[in-house]
Structure 1
Amino acid sequence: MEWNEKQIRILEIAEKLFAENGFDGTSIRQISKEADINIAMISYYFGSKEKLLEALLLYRTGDFKMELESRVAKEQDFLKTVEDIVELVVKKIHRNRRTYKIIHFEYSNENRNIDFDSYIEQKKENYKLIQNFVERGQKAGVFAKNIRTELIIPTVLGTYFHFYYNKRFFQSLQYLNEPADIDQYVTEILTPHVQKTIKALLTYEV
């Protein structure tokens, strides 16, 4: 989906406020004021706060499938492709961690009247890409046979979010005093660690 400049401004301000105040703690009026855009314009583009959140999910996750396709389509060593996929996922969630925080909280709220169908369909398509890649690796004799493909991405996400939600501990432990230090740690330490973990899971035969 193509987004114009005003829509992107609204989505990014909404993301910031949802992450800081929660979905219930943020009003359309607050979003309008901070984005310096008329409330009527927000209603025109998105209709409601729930529809605004649905649009935010698509805005932040919509291009992931294309990026993933480009990684798995490369003619290169299977294990190098695994490294590329892990790097992509970690970069994506680190850059968009506010949105993922909102998604995880709202998705678990069964009383919320938000349509996650498009988001779920995107996740299914991404899973199929990884499943096909794993099957090719198995046929080539590179990957083990007993792989739970549906748990590969959750393993990556689990490692990242453990770090993210325990950031103060890691800041103290690893002397990560500035935001740039955290970015560097994610890129140079956490990502290679997860790459090794996933490669081990894919190649270890029980």
Structure 2
Amino acid sequence: MTEFNDKQTDILQTAEKLFAEEGFDGTSIRSIAKEAGVNIAMISYYFGSKEKLLEALIMYRTSGMKMQLETIFKEDLSPLEKVNRLVDLYISRINKNKCMYQIMHFELSTKKRIMNMESFMEVKKQNSEIFKKIIEEGQEQGIFTKNVNIALIPTTILGTLVHFRSNRLYYEKTMQLDTEETFESYVTNELTQHIKQTIKALLLHEN
């Protein structure tokens, strides 16, 4: 896991906020330095360039998940309870890091700039392996069906949540989720429960 000192963390969090508000192209190193209360030279020293700063930000927000996944895997829980914990973990991380996922989605989908994503991809691969082991444990016990695409389960979890958040205006109007509190409460309760039911239906044997 990549370790960052307090000053680097301040810079990363400031960059995240500005990238989400102004976009990557609309944010300058100068504005990040001013907002973070540091000089430009310090950002250059720690990160090199704005692209490298973005790469570091992605690592900062994603590298901590491996430890949490391993904890779930080792816990004395049933396979289904572990899967529910997995859903909670994925949703809580997206809710906590909304800005980061917004930036990542845009940058990785547009491919406007060449970024070195090897470290990120390696972390993602390691996380996927632990996720896979949790599902395979349930398959070996005969609880989960083997006829399921494990690689697409995180996609189903994240895709549902990201779609709901990116279409917030529509759901606010059609479901009367017109305050921050009611919207977030719906995500935490009803939407999370819907995702758990969906994943459960994918994993359990058909009657």
TM-score for both structures, normalised by structure 2: 0.94
Aligned to 1:89: 90
Q: How does 1:25-174 map to 2 (within 5 A)?
A: 25-174=26-175
Identify which range, 151-160 or 133-142, moves more after superposition: 133-142
Matched AA of 2:104: I
Counterpart residue number, 1:175:
176
Alpha-carbon deviations, 1:179-203, whole Å to 9, x = none?
2222211111111110111011011
In structure 2, what is the equivalent of residue 24 of structure 1? 25
5+ residue gaps, structure 2: none
Q: Aligned residue pairs: how many? A: 206
Counting aligned pairs with the same residue, the percent is: 48
Deviation at 1:111, TM superposition (A): 4.4
Distance 1:133 1:96 in 2: 24
Displacement of 1:153: 0.2
C-alpha RMSD of matched pairs (Å): 1.4
Per the alignment, do residues 205 and 123 of structure 1 end up closer, same or farther by CA in structure 2, a change over 3 Å counting?
Answer: farther
Distance apart, 1:205 and its partner CA: 4.2
**TM-score, structure 1 normalization:** 0.95
User: For the residues of structure 2 that align with 1:204 and 1:166, how far apart are their CA atoms?
Assistant: 33
Q: Secondary structure, in 3 states, of the residue corresponding to 2:110? A: coil
Runs of 4+ in 1 over 6 A off after TM superposition: none
Q: CA deviation at 1:76?
A: 1.1
Contact 2:153 2:199 in 1 (8 A): yes
Give the letter for the 1:86 counterpart. V
